[in-house]
Amino acid sequence: MSLSTTSRPARAVRDLFATARGRDRLTGLLMTAPAVALFLVMMVVPLVLSGYLSLTDWDGYTAHPAMVGLDHYRALLDDPEVRQAAWITVLLAVIGTLAVNAVGLALALAISTPGRTNTVLRTVFFYPYVISALIIGFLWSALLSTNGAVNSVLRAAGHAGLPFLSQPGWALASLIGVVVWSGFGFTLVLYIAGLHTVPASLLEAARIDGAGRWRILRSVTLPMIAPVVTVNVVLTLVTLLRSYDLVLSLTGGGPAGSTQTAAYLILAQSFQNNALGYGSAQSMVLTLVTGIAALAITFLRRRADERAGA
Q: What is the pLDDT of residues 64-114, one digit of tens each?
A: 888 888 999 999 888 899 999 999 999 999 999 999 999 999 999 999 888
Low-confidence ranges of the chain (pLDDT < 50): 1-4
Beta-bridge partner residues of 56: 67
By residue count, the chain amounts to: 310
Cis peptide before 128 (omega within 30 of 0): no
Regarding the domain delimited by 71-309, which CATH topology (the fold level of the hierarchy) does it fall under?
MetI-like fold (1.10.3720)
What SS3 class is residue 270? helix
CB atoms within 10 A of CB 286: 20
pLDDT, residue 286, reads: 92
pTM for this entry? 0.84
Counting Cβ atoms within 10 Å, is residue 105 exposed (0-12), middle (13-18) or buried (19+)?
A: buried
* Distance from chain centroid for Cα 243: 8
Domain boundaries, the chain: 2-53, 71-309
* Distance from chain centroid for Cα 200: 32
Q: Contact at 8 Å (CB) between 125 and 108?
A: no
What SS3 class is residue 56? strand
pLDDT, residue 3, reads: 47
d(CA 133, CA 136): 5
pLDDT, residue 23, reads: 66
CB atoms within 10 A of CB 257: 17
What SS3 class is residue 15? helix
d(CA 169, CA 190): 32
* Distance from chain centroid for Cα 112: 24
Of residues 140, 235, 237, the one with CA closest to residue 190 = 235
d(CA 90, CA 176): 12
**H or E element at residue 254:** none
